[in-house]
Every structure is written in structure tokens, then in C-alpha cells.
């Protein structure tokens, strides 16, 4: 028998500005479920999650939350302004029964100390503190809206492992396909105000979605043919000429209404890049380049050759120097030592992370044209700005909308549209996947694959790198960079590990890794982590507590008339006893493994 839901949304309806955003949306969350919530930008995913969290009131439908369930919601833009430190912010989200050490552990795992002043935090740091706050209580239900935004690869992979180890039910909105595929077990698709669900993870979603849309198109075609037949009868039927058949006229009216009520899928971005003249075979050659800022060396004796048609991915934690390296490879920054040789006929177009640097007061059409004109040149042909806006899913009415009024996804599309309009044979993409929905990501990948020039991309999106990159340049620490053939997964296979931990400072000089040759990394002495030390201290107390709970239940079960007096209570206690025994066995095994590890390290 399925467990009763912890959280339930049924027939949810919501209207914004005269437009019905949600028509018949449902979301059922049972214990332990992991649900990917997917849909186009603007489809209402975040709004539905806020309704689930009790932060937005729906116009119609029912919301139910189990009174005893702990529910935590991660917003896209957390507010820490009322707290003195990040630790105070995290602890404010905990209850008296929560593990008091968990807040500090999570902050340290996320690269924070707990002493930071929230007023001075960057967007990424605020995001990490918000993650620690929702994870600390180990809630029954986690509602996560874009949890990987502003995070680098080490933190993304740590977060994925942490979530995978938790028993919480989860509803996750994310543009990171690898993250969704690895964590989800069910998928809810919000499309045109209505939800559909499959009991499979995100990995099965795209094939299922395409089947649904294909069937919709067949049904629409059948409906069109029915309308044609009924209209033919209305005009030419013998009975129709003598007298009107009221029932059949009503049927035709209903068919026409059904046709009008069908909401087609929002169109796709018509993405194309304006290609310039062909570059030389050699795009850039770097020999033993180095760059130091103060006492920190971010690039040390790095060499590489990028040829026409290469797709090079740069990966590493935030602060490793990816932007510095990419600027040197593009000739925008001089190295302190070594040489950079750029090829002939280079035409560069760049999409940087500075979407925030789009002037918020600039009108949309001026941001695309540069102002002073209603046309722009795409692949040598003049195109009206409104037509180009439509290619990127903007309506003509948005032409005079200030950039600051657009959503994050819309600003991402503006930045892409500007970069792709420039003639180029070298395309530099710095975090291009941020804020893009899954369908737009697919089109971006196709565009990059079909582009005849050279692409250099910085990204934390592992799936995107696997699909587009022909080689990966990886930050190994201490200014050392290594290049690996293939995509991200190929790099992991050659290197033996991904970007799963903070970069460790290494003394060994960097050397370029060839295809099929693994990099040999220096290893430091094994130490117990903060989490392991804490577990060693707390597990005996947890085991003792479990023993007491089991003794109390055994005492009740031993009563001679318990079963005849309260059969349901007897069954409930029997089930609880079995669960406690399982927990105790797991805790004892974990403590034994940690104790053996401690003895090995100390001995």
C-alpha cells in the first residue's frame, strides 16, 4: 500500500495579469520521492513550487501539507539581510530537535566559515548559505528551485552526493540535466498550465515528451478533419437545406471551441550564429604562458594549440582563473611570461557572464541593434529587429521593454541574441547555459555543433560539455592546467576523478595530458573529515537512543492482551520495531567502519 502524501496540490489554478498561468496543475509528493519539475521558461514552475511551499495563494484548487511534515523551500534569490552572520541565518531555519553541528558542517562543506556578513556576500555565496539552511534540518520535503545556480563544479558534485544520501522527498527545478538525471526518480512536466507525470527519472523525459507532442499533433489533425466534415454537411447536406439540425450545429460549435481552446506548444528559439570569414587553420598557440596576480599564480607554464573547428571546454572551481586563461587565449590579456600566437583572420564574438552588465534601462530592441536603428545584419542580410526578437521568443510588444524588467531566462536569451548577431569565426561562451530552459539548451548545442568556426566554452554543465566539447582544459590547482581529449566524462575517465573537491595546491608542474593518458595527481595524507569526526562522537548516543526506543516498544509488545486490545497499534509497533532495528544495525556498522579508519590513521 502506497504511503500517504506529505504534500499535495490538486487542480491548481492561477491567473497573472489576465493570463491563466496554471489551469489544472497537480503535484503529489510522498515520502522519499525524488521529482524533477520541468517545463519551459515562463511556464510557471517556480510559481507552482511557491504554492507548494505555501508562499503564494492559488486562485483555485487545493493544497494539503501533512501537519507533522517538515518542508523547506530554496528560493532563487534568498534574503539574508536580517541576520548578522551566515551561521545565524542557517541556524534560524533549524528546530530544537535538529543536529546542532550540522549547520557548521554544511557551511564548511559549501566553502563558507559561518562568520560571513550577509551584506557582503556574492550571489554564489548567498546561494550556498541558503542551501545550508534548507539542508540542515534534513526535512521531510525539500523544494529546490535551481539549486545549482551560481555554483561551481566541485560544489555541484558535492551537493549531488549530499542530496543522494538524504532520505528527504525532493522536488527539483534545474537546467542541469546531469544533476536531474542522477537524482530524480519521477518527472512532472508543466506545459501550458497543466501537469503530466511519469514514474521515471528525467533521463526518460525527453523521449516521453516527444511522444506526447506527436500524439497531440495527430489528435489536432483529426479534430481539424472533423470540423471540415461538419462544415461540409452544414453547407451541402440535404437535411441542412430543409431545416437546421440543432444537435449537429451544437456539435460543430463545440468542435470549433475545442480547437480554439487547444494551446499549442510555445515555439522554439530560431537560433543561428552569424558566421564571418574562414579563419586560418591555427586559431591560437600558447607556449609556457604564466599569469600572476599579487602572490597568486593562476596560470603556470601552460601550453596548448587550438585549431580551426575545435570545441574547447574550460572547467574548474570558481576562482581557479578560467576567465583569466580564456582572455589570454583570445589575446585580450597579456601573459607575464611565455608567448601567445593568434592565427590569421580571427573574428571574435563573446558571450560573457556579464548579463547583469546589460544596462537595465536599455530597451530590448536597442540592446539588440545597438540603438539608432530598427534593423541588424544577420549572415550578410538585413533583418528587422522585431523579426529577430521573435526568433528568440520575444513578442513585438516587448520591443520597448527595459532589460531590467525581463526575467533571468529572458536576459540570457538577449545576451545570446547579441553575441550570435556578431560576425565571427571564433565563438567564446562563458557560462552560456545559465538560466536557459532545456529546449533552448538543446538548440544551443545544435548551433555549437553546426558552427563551422572554433568554440571556446567555460561551463559547469557536465552534460553540455559532454555533448559539445572535443577537449577539456582542467584547472588542477596552484596555477596548473591540463588538457584532456573528449568531453567531461572522457576527462573523468582519463583523470580518474571529476571536479569533486576543492582544488588541492600541488607542487608538481603542469604537463599536457594526451588522449588516453591519465594525469597523476599527488595525494595528501588521509584525515578524518569534520563529518566523520562528528559521526564518531554522536553515533554511540544515537545507538543508545535507538536501544531505549526498541526496549519501550518491546515492553508494549510483551503485554499479553496487547494484540487483542489494539490490533492496529500492535501492527504499528511491530513495524516501528523492525525499522528501528534496521537503523541500529546501520549505525553500528557505520561506527565500526569509522573507528577502524581512525585506528588506521592514528596507528
| CA–CA gap between residue 85 and residue 129 (Å, rounded) | 10
pLDDT band for position 517 (cuts 50, 70, 90): very low
Query: Is the pLDDT higher at 322 or at 409?
Result: 322
Q: What is the pLDDT of residue 185?
A: 95
Distance from C-alpha of 18 to C-alpha of 458, rounded to nearest angstrom: 40
Q: Which of 130, 125, 170 is CA-nearest to residue 152?
A: 125
Please determine whether the domains at 7-207 and 274-347+423-522 fall in the same fold group of CATH: yes
Average pLDDT over residues 337-361: 78
pLDDT value, residue 526:
55
Domain 274-347+423-522: CATH superfamily, name plus number: P-loop containing nucleotide triphosphate hydrolases (3.40.50.300)
Indicate the average pLDDT of the chain: 80
Q: How far apart are CA 146 and CA 557, in angstroms?
A: 47
- pLDDT over 90 at 71, yes or no: yes
pLDDT of residue 237: 56
Terminal Cα-to-Cα distance of the chain (whole angstroms): 50
pLDDT value for 77: 84
Highest average pLDDT, of 66-75, 452-461, 508-517, comes from 66-75
Q: Average pLDDT for residues 111-124, to the nearest whole number?
A: 87
Enter the pTM of the model: 0.67
pLDDT tens digits, 237-291: 545 444 445 565 565 566 556 555 555 555 555 555 555 566 678 889 999 999 9
CATH number for the region 7-207 comes to: 3.40.50.300
- Give me the sign of the Cα torsion angle 489, 491, 495, 498: negative
530, pLDDT greater than 80: no
Report helix, strand or coil for 103. helix
So where are the chain's domains?
7-207, 208-261, 274-347+423-522, 360-422, 530-602
Q: What is the pLDDT of residues 465-507, one digit of tens each?
A: 988 899 999 998 889 999 998 888 888 888 877 765 443 333 3
Q: What interhelical angle do 123-135 and 153-165 show, nearest 10?
A: 10
Q: Does domain 530-602 fall into CATH 1.10.287.380?
A: yes
The string of pLDDT tens digits covering residues 314-333 is 998 877 888 889 889 988 88
Residue 8: pLDDT band with limits 50, 70, 90: very high
pLDDT given at position 524? 39
Does residue 248 or residue 158 have the better pLDDT? 158
DSSP assignment string, 29-54: E-TT-EEEEE--TTSSHHHHHHHHTT
Is the pLDDT higher at 561 or at 544?
544
Q: Inform me whether the pLDDT recorded for 353 exceeds 70.
A: no
Amino acid at each position: 500500500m502506497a504511503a500517504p502524501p506529505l504534500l499535495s496540490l490538486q487542480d491548481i489554478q492561477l491567473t497573472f495579469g489576465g493570463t491563466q498561468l496554471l489551469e489544472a496543475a497537480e503535484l503529489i509528493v510522498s515520502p522519499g520521492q525524488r521529482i524533477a519539475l520541468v517545463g519551459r521558461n515562463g511556464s510557471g514552475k517556480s510559481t507552482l513550487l511557491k504554492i507548494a511551499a505555501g508562499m503564494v495563494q492559488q486562485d483555485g484548487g487545493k493544497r494539503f501539507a501533512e501537519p507533522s511534515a517538515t518542508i523547506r523551500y530554496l528560493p532563487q534569490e534568498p534574503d539574508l539581510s536580517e541576520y548578522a552572520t551566515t551561521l545565524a541565518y542557517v541556524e534560524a531555519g533549524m528546530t530544537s530537535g535538529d543536529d546542532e553541528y550540522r549547520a557548521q558542517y554544511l557551511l564548511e562543506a559549501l566553502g563558507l566559515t559561518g562568520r560571513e556578513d550577509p551584506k557582503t556576500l556574492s550571489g554564489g555565496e548567498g546561494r550556498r548559505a541558503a542551501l545550508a539552511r534548507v539542508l540542515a534540518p534534513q526535512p521531510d520535503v525539500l523544494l529546490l528551485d535551481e539549486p545549482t545556480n551560481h555554483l561551481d563544479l566541485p560544489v555541484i558534485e558535492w551537493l549531488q552526493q549530499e542530496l543522494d544520501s538524504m532520505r528527504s522527498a525532493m522536488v527539483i527545478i534545474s537546467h542541469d540535466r546531469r544533476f536531474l538525471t542522477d537524482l530524480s526518480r519521477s518527472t512532472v512536466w508543466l506545459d501550458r498550465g497543466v501537469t503530466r507525470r511519469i514514474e521515471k527519472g528525467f533521463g526518460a523525459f525527453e523521449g516521453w515528451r516527444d511522444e506526447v507532442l506527436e500524439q497531440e499533433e495527430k489528435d489536432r489533425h483529426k479534430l481539424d478533419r472533423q470540423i471540415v466534415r461538419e462544415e461540409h454537411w452544414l453547407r451541402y447536406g440535404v437535411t441542412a437545406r430543409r431545416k437546421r439540425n440543432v444537435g449537429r450545429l451544437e456539435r460543430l460549435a463545440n468542435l470549433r471551441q475545442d480547437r480554439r481552446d487547444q494551446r499549442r506548444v510555445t515555439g522554439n528559439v530560431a537560433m543561428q550564429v552569424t558566421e564571418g570569414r574562414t579563419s586560418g587553420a591555427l586559431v591560437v598557440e600558447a607556449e609556457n604562458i604564466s599569469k600572476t596576480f599579487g602572490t597568486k599564480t593562476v596560470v603556470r607554464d601552460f601550453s596548448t594549440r587550438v585549431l580551426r573547428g575545435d570545441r574547447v571546454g574550460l572547467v574548474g572551481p570558481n576562482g581557479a582563473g578560467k576567465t583569466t586563461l580564456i582572455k589570454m587565449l583570445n589575446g585580450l590579456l597579456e601573459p607575464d611570461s611565455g608567448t601567445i600566437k593568434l592565427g590569421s583572420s580571427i573574428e571574435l564574438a563573446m558571450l560573457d557572464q556579464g548579463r547583469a552588465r546589460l544596462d537595465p534601462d536599455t530597451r530590448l530592441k536597442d540592446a539588440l541593434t545597438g540603438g539608432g536603428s530598427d534593423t541588424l545584419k544577420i549572415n550578410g542580410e538585413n533583418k528587422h529587429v522585431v523579426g529577430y526578437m521573435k526568433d528568440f521568443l520575444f513578442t513585438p510588444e516587448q520591443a520597448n521593454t527595459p532589460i531590467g524588467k525581463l526575467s533571468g531566462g529572458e536576459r540570457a536569451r538577449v545576451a545570446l541574441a547579441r553575441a550570435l548577431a556578431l560576425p565571427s569565426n571564433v565563438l567564446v561562451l562563458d557560462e552560456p547555459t545559465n538560466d536557459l530552459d532545456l529546449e533552448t539548451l538543446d538548440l544551443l548545442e545544435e548551433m555549437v555543433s553546426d558552427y563551422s568556426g572554433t568554440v571556446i566554452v567555460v561551463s559547469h554543465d557536465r552534460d553540455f560539455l559532454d555533448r559539445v566539447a572535443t577537449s577539456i582544459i582542467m584547472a588542477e590547482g596552484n596555477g596548473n592546467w591540463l588538457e584532456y581529449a573528449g568531453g567531461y566524462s572522457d576527462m573523468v575517465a582519463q583523470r580518474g576523478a571529476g571536479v569533486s573537491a576543492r582544488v588541492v595546491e600541488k607542487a608538481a608542474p603542469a604537463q599536457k595530458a594526451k588522449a588516453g593518458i591519465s594525469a597523476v595527481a599527488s595525494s595528501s595524507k588521509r584525515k578524518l573529515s569534520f563529518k566523520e569526526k562528528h559521526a564518531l562522537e554522536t553515533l554511540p548516543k544515537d545507538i543508545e537512543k535507538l536501544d531505549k526506543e526498541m526496549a519501550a516498544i518491546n515492553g508494549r509488545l510483551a503485554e499479553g492482551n496487547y494484540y487483542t486490545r489494539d490490533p492496529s497499534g500492535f501492527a504499528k509497533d511491530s513495524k516501528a520495531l523492525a525499522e528501528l532495528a534496521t537503523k541500529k544495525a546501520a549505525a553500528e556498522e557505520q561506527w565500526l567502519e569509522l573507528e577502524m579508519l581512525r585506528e588506521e590513521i592514528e596507528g
